[in-house]
Chain A
Amino acid sequence: MTRLLKLSIALLILLLLIMNAALTPAQDMVELELWYHGGTQEENDETRAQVDRFNAMQDEIQVNFVELAGSLVAGTGYNDAVNAAAVAGDLPCILDLDGPNLYNYAWAGFLAPMDDYLSDELRADILPSLIDQGTYNGKIYAMGQYDSGLALVGRMSLLEEAGLRIPSSIDDAWDLDEFNDALAQLQALESVEYAIDLKMNYGAGEWYTYAFSPVVQGFGGDLIDTETLSAEGVLNGPEAVAAMEWIRSLFENGYSTLTPPDDNEFINGNAAMGFLGHWMATGYYEAFGDDMIVLPVVNFGARQATGMGSWAWSITTQCEHPDAAWAFMEFMLTPEEILSITNVNAAVPGRLSALAMSDLFGEGGRMNIFVQQLESGIAIPRPITPGYPAVTSAFFTAMDNIIKGGDIQAELDAAVDKIEQDIADNDGYPVQN
């Protein structure tokens, strides 16, 4: 027995050594590691293809694509892994970040500014919303290939059947009463189970903040005061309470479900409308063709607001070859590569020149509403603060509790307390230089 054990141990150690050797890279070219969050399957495939194209077109830089495991939606797998790596000083060269998380990483000193690399020409061509999103403390720390779009989609045939006015641009968007009426009319239709799919299958996480903070803003509230960074009286004020009451009413009235089994409630025809990010739009269009219509975001009264910001690339301070990393970024930011990814994920192309070339997003294009939303200033970035992780977590936890029956005022108060506590814990997030 022991001899057998000894033998197997020896063999295992040998194997381990061989595997380690096999995993050690060759030294003749610059190797960069890139971490990617996963994305949808199509997005993932295309991003891999882009990296392959970059590696194939030159022979000095080799970008190693690493897709981190992470249950993005139900869990926080990707952020967990990035945090773990940051602690361990084991970050890759190029890091994929969901927009608002970058402020925390930049504040902590993990990201390298890229202003010196960015030519004036390129900067002028980048979608202004992307520059805003990527800027912290006056420097640019991340640059995405695309921006996101949040919108209402519906099926023309059902909207007509319900006898609804169909808005065509953000200027004649539905107001709250019209929207409530539309929900009631659609709910009454025989052919659907409920009026609107709110993508609650994503679970309590970034989706809630991305999609529903514009509703809070539309009602006149906000997550935090953009000047003081405090949440008191903002997130727990009467406007935010009203917004939460309305959101909860959607479930109480049966207009939406808290527990869609998967991502396909609109495609399946169970839901008459969908409230969703651009990333679902292609699939929906494939399912319904011209019957699918992108509706401008509802005007809830105080202001018209919608979400923005998406995954972006950043270079870490742990990167030994930032120049090589920028060479890769430059490649990713060419209009051709931008379009190759946005044609797959239907995100808004991140450069004006790419936008002009796009059939989908250009003037009269099917997705043009997304561009209108970004350019008209109604798209609001999520709070630009190093405390963002605490802000989003406080908000989505409160919202999750509220739609599952919690007391609205108490939950929002608790969220405010958590945000304030976090600010206090960090000495008010003093700017580091």
Chain B
Amino acid sequence: MSALPANALEASYLQERRRQLRQRLRRNITLTIDYGIMIGLAIFFLFPIVFMVVSSFKPEKAIFDDLKTITWAFIPRDVTLENFTSVFRRVPFGQFMFNSTFIVLATVSAGLIVNSMIAFALARLRWKGKIIVLSLIIALSIVPLDAIVVPLLVLVNEFPWIDGSIGWLDTLHVQIVPFIADAFSIFLFYQFFIGIPRDFDEAAYIDGGSPFAVYRRIIVPLSRPVFATVAILQALFLWSSYLWPLMATRGEASRPLTVGITSFYGQDVKWAQILAFASMITIPVLILFLLFQKWFVQSVVASGLKG
């Protein structure tokens, strides 16, 4: 690290002024380029979604006619709510929305407790076997759900439920319980917990707290960002799940949105209705994200998800 070059300090006012101008010009050019790229990327990332939403307000035939010119593809000429009313007429959209929301909320909230507790034990308690447990969890985080659906299906079909019935198929809990414990979430919690200074626990132990009390009073309050991050990641995963509910549910009573939309993609494809359905799934989540966006990025920053 060298000190400032001496000649810069001695530069005349004129030279300094010229340098500033040049710098400003350069900054403006980079700024223009940056915005150019950002807007280009924004178009790339947004056009399918904008097209989807705009088209959902068009009559079926107009979608195809308007495609002949690219501009009109993004502008609704005669706005209609027909597609949305058709969706509501054809399927219990509210029920699907409730199911999806309920599944996500239930799984995420239970998962936060279950996964953070084991991560606490792994990160901050001394016990035999924790290395093995940790390695197993990391190995299990690699198993893709799609690849174990068939054995899982056969398995849950044999399980009893609290109301005395046997077999979990075609229920909400079959979409919840298997996904509460999540290896990847445990790993994220673990990464965060291990970074919290030990001094905090020591103080609590001296005050006579149990390990569980340390978890609840010290670790959890210190770890809000990682809780938020895990919650969001799990919620996104669950909100999108597709193969499992397709196999494990039958009727509309327990059907989530992602399976609900496939019935529109069937024998008589009505694109306008599909797009209306898709828009109704997407927009609420987008609004939620827009509202909490700043906070979400901060959580990820603070959670150490970056590694």
Contacts and interface: CB of A to CB of B under 8 A. Distances in A.
Interface in B55-112: 60-61, 64, 90, 102, 105-106, 109-110, 112
Interface stretch (B16-24, B33-41, B188-196, B258-266): B258-266
Interface in A1-45: 1-2, 5-6, 8-9, 12, 15-17, 19-21, 23-24, 35, 38-41
B64 A69 contact: no
Contact of B263 (A6, A9, A17, A67): A67
Nearest to A8: B109
Nearest to B269: A262
A323 B110 CA distance: 45
Given A2-B216, A20-B171, A77-B262, A90 B157 contact: yes
Contact of A81 (B60, B250, B266): B250
B255 interface: yes
B266 A70 contact: yes
Interface residues of A, number: 46
B275 interface: no
Contact of B102 (A15, A23, A70): A15
A12 B150 contact: no
A5 B109 CA distance: 6
B268 interface: yes
B165 to A, nearest CB: 8
A75 interface: yes
A68 interface: yes
B109 A71 contact: no
B290 interface: no
B169 A85 contact: yes
A67 B153 CA distance: 21
Contacts of B162: 17
Interface stretch (B6-14, B124-132, B133-141, B220-228): B220-228
A222 to B, nearest CB: 27
B286 interface: no
Given A20-B171, A67-B252, A87-B154, 17 more contacts: A6-B113, A12-B110, A17-B163, A38-B266, A66-B251, A67-B263, A68-B250, A75-B265, A77-B246, A77-B266, A84-B169, A85-B169, A85-B250, A87-B153, A90-B170, A263-B269, A279-B267
Interface of A: 1-2, 5-6, 8-9, 12, 15-17, 19-21, 23-24, 35, 38-41, 66-75, 77, 80-81, 84-85, 87-90, 92, 201, 261-263, 268, 279
